[in-house]
Structures are given as structure tokens and as C-alpha cells.
């Protein structure tokens, strides 16, 4: 059974933190103004934002948990699950936004670029067979 080195798992966790930070900075139109997703994740009203909030917190938990998983196959599965849930949460927030185009075009590009970068780092780490 191949394992991912702890150094690469911690680097991956740092990438995950950056992706989550940019996810939280995505601005969406909600109600009578504009606010970041991160603010809604913490202070959002459960009636309106319950599903995207729960999916978002599950994705953050999965990405944090991945740093503790040394087995390569399980590590990849947990990271991909966390990234997929994060995209689903982003889409759920964006779909409830009052202006989807304004939320996607200028404010989501850094998040999507960081997400793509994290996926590339994951593929490179696994393809090179970085093991302990």
C-alpha cells in the first residue's frame, strides 16, 4: 500500500486552506446587498442558506481530514470528495444569488483557478508516486 508523505499532505492542506479562503471571499448578491460566501457560512440564516452551508462545512471538514490520511488511494478520495463538495456548495450559493453572472464572472475566477491548481497538485503528487 503506497502512502503519501506527510510533507506533501501538509502542503496539500495549505493549498486546501487557500482554496477555502478564496471560496469564502466569493461575493454574491443576496437580499438587499452583496456579501462574501464566508460571511454567509458563519452568519447565514438557516432558512435560506441551510443546504449550501451544510455542504460547505462538510467540504471543509473533508479537506482538513485529508491531511491525516496517509494511504494514497484514501487520501485522493477524501481530497476529491472535499473539492467536489466545495464546488457543489459554491454552485448552490451562486444559484441562490440575485445576480448569477455578476457573482460568477468577476468574483469566482480566483476561487476556480485555485481549485484547478489544487487538482493539478493532487494529480502531480499521485502520478509521481510521492511516497514515504
Mean pLDDT (10-residue bins), the chain, 132 residues:
85 94 88 81 85 95 94 93 96 83 78 94 78 47
For residue 31, the model assigns a pLDDT of 66
Numbers of helices and strands, H then E, in the chain: 6, 2
For residue 130, the model assigns a pLDDT of 58
For residue 8, the model assigns a pLDDT of 86
Rounded to two decimals, the pTM is 0.89
Non-local (6+) Cβ contacts of 118 within 8 A are 12, 15, 16, 18, 19, 79, 83
Non-local (6+) Cβ contacts of 71 within 8 A are 1, 2, 3, 4
Domain spans, the chain:
6-122
For residue 126, the model assigns a pLDDT of 80
For residue 132, the model assigns a pLDDT of 44
CB atoms within 10 A of CB 80: 14
Q: Tell me, what DSSP letter sits at residue 29?
A: E
Amino acid at each position: 500500500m503506497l502512502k503519501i508523505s506527510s510533507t506533501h499532505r501538509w502542503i496539500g492542506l495549505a493549498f486546501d486552506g487557500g482554496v477555502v479562503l478564496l471560496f469564502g471571499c466569493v461575493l454574491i448578491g443576496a437580499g438587499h446587498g452583496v456579501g462574501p460566501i464566508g460571511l454567509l457560512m458563519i452568519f447565514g440564516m438557516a432558512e435560506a442558506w441551510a443546504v449550501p452551508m451544510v455542504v460547505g462545512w462538510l467540504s471543509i471538514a473533508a479537506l482538513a481530514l485529508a491531511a491525516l490520511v496517509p494511504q494514497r488511494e484514501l487520501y485522493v478520495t477524501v481530497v476529491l470528495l472535499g473539492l467536489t463538495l466545495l464546488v457543489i456548495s459554491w454552485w448552490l450559493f451562486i444559484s441562490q444569488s440575485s445576480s448569477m453572472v455578476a457573482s460568477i464572472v468577476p468574483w469566482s475566477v480566483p476561487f476556480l483557478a485555485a481549485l484547478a491548481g489544487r487538482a493539478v497538485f493532487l494529480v502531480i503528487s499521485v502520478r509521481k508516486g510521492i511516497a514515504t
